Amino acid sequence: MNKGNISRIIELSKQDDIILFGPRGAGKSTLLKELFDSKECLWIDLLLPKQEARYGRDPELLIAEVEGMLPTQTHIVIDEIQKVPKLLDVVHYLIENTNKHFILTGSSARKIKRASANLLAGRAFVHSLAPFTFQELGKSFHLNKALHYGMLPKIYTLKTETQQKQYLKSYAHTYLKEEVWVEQFIKNLDPFRYFLEVAAQCNGKVLNYSKIGRDVGVDHKTVENYYSILVDTLLGFILPAHANSFRKQLRQAPKFYFFDVGVTRALGRLLSVPVSEQTSYYGEVFEHFIMAEISKYINYFKDEYRLSYICTKNNIEIDLVVSRPAQPLLLVEIKSSSNVTAEQVSKLEKIAQDIPNCEAICLSRDDKRKKFGSVTVWPWRDGILEYFHHSTSMRAK
């Protein structure tokens, strides 16, 4: 599926009923307009206030409109379904009683859950669309640009860095206004606004809800609720501590990663800070970028995988632990170095020795694959495609 020369790797079937979730700006509407000819669709955009009000007053109006569709119109696309959750009950009825296919999009599952709406369980395939991957961008991908401004599709239509920064700042403001305040997820916007800045600065770090609460001026339960809002509005994901025990004691607090590097830098008011090689900040942003890319591929192709991390009481940390059905546990360390040494992966190898039947890899900016003991160092692009793309071939163990 492509727009111009940008091909999206998500796989959608026109023969299915689909719920397509994804954060604002990920390209859901653009993708569907590429996939579906306007002549074969009834298209309803609930971001338009008049449309939202119309169906909000009378959800069953959709029944009459579907019954009045031409025989050549086979699909109904409803953009941002969370705006009118009651429409899901009507959609459920129409799926059961017509031969039409429904494609629903949403940037938040939170309002739908709160309204206890029918989520069409078992009747529609649920997919998630993320911002671009490096693979989708192809020759248009540049690591430095991705680390500074992220992977939202709009970024790649803007020509200047000033425009890219302004877009990201506007995106952060739009999120606050449209996804949180308008939907009444919280009663007081000011603490949440400050929380977003603190959360962006804590991205990828072990969470301490009480400390963040003290910094923001709210209690730890409120902080936990704030993070659940970020997850439900698709702005990020929780990375839990690895649950399986082995002889070293482990920390149990989770981490949180925002879905996009550029949005994180905007929320943290860090867009003016350069992402310069050989700095600790570069390493943090590179790790975040790799984590976001892996998350996209898992959502698209490997949703049976489960992600966690390891951090021992002695602060020996493994960035990512991947539980794979019928395969060894995969330990992943992320290094921004372009020449990883044996010393840099020695802690990874030590942890791997404590876990029976595991595989240990390092994703880095190295040009060629190399091996130190039981640890294989991969060029990050090759490693992601090898372990997380759907066409992965089984390697001899």
* E strand residue ranges, the chain: 2-3, 6-7, 18-21, 41-45, 75-79, 101-106, 125-128, 236-239, 255-258, 306-311, 317-323, 329-334, 358-364, 370-372, 375-379
Structure token digits, residue 252:
């149990």
Q: Rounded to an integer, what distance in angstroms lies between the CA atom of residue 183 and that of residue 192? A: 14
296-305 long-range contacts (CB < 8 A, ≥24 apart) are 296/130, 296/131, 296/133, 297/133, 297/384, 297/388, 297/389, 298/388, 299/128, 299/130, 300/9, 300/10, 300/11, 300/130, 300/390, 301/388, 301/389, 301/390, 302/388, 302/390, 305/388
Of 257, 274, 139, 141, the C-alpha closest to 200 is: 257
Structure confidence at residue 73 (pLDDT): 93
Q: Give the C-alpha distances (Å, rounded to integers) separating 146 from 334, 338, 381.
A: 16, 17, 14
Q: Rounded to an integer, what distance in angstroms lies between the CA atom of residue 201 and that of residue 211? A: 13
Structure token digits, residue 292:
């976001």
List of residues 6+ apart from 297 with CB closer than 8 A = 133, 384, 388, 389
Structure confidence at residue 286 (pLDDT): 98
Of 114, 113, 61, 70, the C-alpha closest to 91 is: 61
Q: What is the SS3 string spanning 149-217?
A: HCCCHHHHHCCCHHHHHHHHHHHHHHHHHHHHHCCCCCCCHHHHHHHHHHHHHCCCCECCHHHHHHHHC
Q: Rounded to an integer, what distance in angstroms lies between the CA atom of residue 296 and that of residue 128? A: 9
Q: From edge to edge, which strands make up the β-sheet containing 306-311?
A: 306-311, 317-323, 329-334, 358-364, 375-379, 370-372
Structure confidence at residue 344 (pLDDT): 96
Q: Which of the 8 DSSP states describes residue 397?
A: -
Q: CA dihedral defined by 207, 212, 218, 223, rounded to 10 degrees? A: -20
Q: CA dihedral defined by 36, 37, 41, 47, rounded to 10 degrees? A: 70
Structure confidence at residue 176 (pLDDT): 79
Structure confidence at residue 396 (pLDDT): 28
Q: Rounded to an integer, what distance in angstroms lies between the CA atom of residue 43 and that of residue 345? A: 52
Residue 255 phi/psi, 5-degree rounding, is: -115, 165
- Mind listing the domains of the chain with CATH numbers? 2-128 (3.40.50.300), 133-397 (no CATH)
Sequential pLDDT tens for the chain (397 residues):
444 468 899 989 889 999 899 998 999 999 999 888 878 899 999 999 999 999 999 999 999 999 999 999 999 999 999 889 889 889 989 999 999 999 999 888 776 666 545 556 667 788 999 999 999 999 999 999 999 999 999 999 999 999 999 999 999 988 877 777 766 778 888 899 999 999 999 999 999 999 999 999 999 999 999 999 999 888 999 999 987 655 455 568 999 999 999 999 999 999 999 999 999 999 999 999 999 999 999 999 998 999 999 987 777 889 999 999 999 999 999 999 999 999 999 999 988 988 888 999 999 999 999 999 999 999 999 999 999 997 543 332 2
Structure confidence at residue 347 (pLDDT): 92
Structure token digits, residue 373:
């003991």
Chain position carrying tokens 């803007």: 158
Structure confidence at residue 113 (pLDDT): 64
Q: Rounded to an integer, what distance in angstroms lies between the CA atom of residue 185 and that of residue 240? A: 24
Please tell me the pTM assigned to this model: 0.91
Q: Give the C-alpha distances (Å, rounded to integers) separating 19 from 71, 79, 86, 119.
A: 23, 10, 15, 9
Chain position carrying tokens 């860090």: 270
Structure confidence at residue 394 (pLDDT): 32
Q: Is the Cβ–Cβ distance between 40 and 157 less than 8 Å?
A: no
